[in-house]
Amino acid sequence: MRTSNLHSWILSLLASAPLAQAIVGGSEAAAGDFSFAVSIERQGSTKAYHACTGNIVGSTSILTAASCCDDYQAADFGIRYGSKNRTSGGATVAVSEVIVHPQWNSGAIEYDFCILKLADAIDPLVGPSNPASLPSAEPAISKRDFRVAGWGSTQPGGNASTVLMEAPMVGVVRSTCASYWGRTMYKSNLCVTHRSQDSNPTTSACQGDGGGPMVDQKGLTLIGISSYGSPDCATKSRPNVFANVFIVKSWIVQNSK
């Protein structure tokens, strides 16, 4: 797939209301896991719809994918936090500012990061007591186990899930990932795929899963955020691509004060 077509696919899926935020071959996230994950809504023609997943990185800051923020204003977004259900529970808050990473390259899909500033601070009685933990060093990826999460379709073209889903995946080195995709993988890219030992070989993030978290096996550190993947979600031939949180850690901290 050419880069231009790939980018068009990402933007079209992020803009698709019914198929936002998805994990194929996963299971419902356990209580207490991914407590920093939030549902990002956009205002449609008649009602708001779930568009992307975000991650609480500060009391007024949500980290998500730049491809989720492209061509939208703060007034277009709303956030639900403190609930595994994207339609109820927790609390909602408006967005006051959209900050896209200055090195975001939509053609190369590089530095796919955006911070949404909240109009009001996260209520610690509703949301997590602490934001997502950021990595202290460049993560080791090859053959390491990770977990990914998101809301929405649990099969390609299926209906959105109302509850947060998660799935185990394993890291793939950039050179191998690049060979599968036939395109350059940059230092801002991390790749994961289904685990060989899983009975379901189609475990994957899916359409519009922009910004969803990739964490270490213990779920303690936010390693990456979902950037792009294969259109059919369940293919075994192409790994999922996440944006590497560590390389923008200082930018996140600076814009989360």
- pLDDT, tens digit, for every residue of 21-49? 345 566 788 888 999 999 999 988 788 88
* Total domains, the chain: 2
Residue 139 within a domain: no
DSSP alpha helix (H) spans, the chain: 3-14, 66-69, 174-181, 249-254
Q: Which pLDDT does position 202 carry in this prediction?
A: 60
Residue 73 within a domain: yes
Same-domain status, 153 and 78: no
Residue 93 within a domain: yes
Same-domain status, 85 and 165: no
Q: Residue 149 in 3-state DSSP?
A: strand
Residue 24 within a domain: no
Phi then psi for residue 156, to 5 deg, are: -55, 125
Q: Which pLDDT does position 129 carry in this prediction?
A: 83
**pLDDT mean over 219-240:** 83
Q: Which pLDDT does position 21 carry in this prediction?
A: 35
Q: 177-191, 197-211, 224-238: lowest mean pLDDT where?
A: 197-211
Same-domain status, 167 and 48: no
Q: Residue 248 in 3-state DSSP?
A: helix
**Residue 215 near residue 164 (C-beta atoms within 8 A):** no
The two tokens of residue 9 are: 């696919």
Residue 29 within a domain: no
Q: Which pLDDT does position 167 carry in this prediction?
A: 86
Overall pTM surpassing 0.85 (yes/no): yes
Residue 183 within a domain: yes
Same-domain status, 56 and 107: yes
Same-domain status, 123 and 164: no
**Residue 95 near residue 183 (C-beta atoms within 8 A):** no
CA dihedral 59, 61, 64, 66 (to 10 degrees): 180
Residue 89 within a domain: yes
Question: Which CA distances in Å does 105 have to 94, 95, 97, 111, 244?
Answer: 27, 23, 20, 7, 14
CA 2 to mean position of chain CA atoms: 23
Same-domain status, 12 and 119: yes
Same-domain status, 214 and 177: yes
CA distance 205 to 111: 19
Same-domain status, 119 and 162: no
Domain region containing 102: 3-18+35-131+248-254
Same-domain status, 13 and 115: yes
Same-domain status, 103 and 199: no
Q: Residue 100 in 3-state DSSP?
A: strand
Residue 62 within a domain: yes
The two tokens of residue 137 are: 């060093």
pLDDT in tens, 156-195: 666 667 899 888 889 999 999 999 999 999 999 999 988 7
Q: 118-127, 159-168, 172-181, 243-252: lowest mean pLDDT where?
A: 159-168
Same-domain status, 70 and 162: no
Q: Which pLDDT does position 233 carry in this prediction?
A: 72
Same-domain status, 115 and 187: no
- State the CATH number of the domain containing residue 94: 2.40.10.10
The two tokens of residue 140 are: 């080791």
**Residue 192 near residue 6 (C-beta atoms within 8 A):** no
- Note every long-range contact of 4-10, with CB atoms under 8 Å and residues 24 or more positions apart, other chains counting: 4/107, 6/109, 6/183, 6/228, 7/106, 7/107, 7/109, 9/228, 9/231, 10/67, 10/109, 10/210, 10/227, 10/228
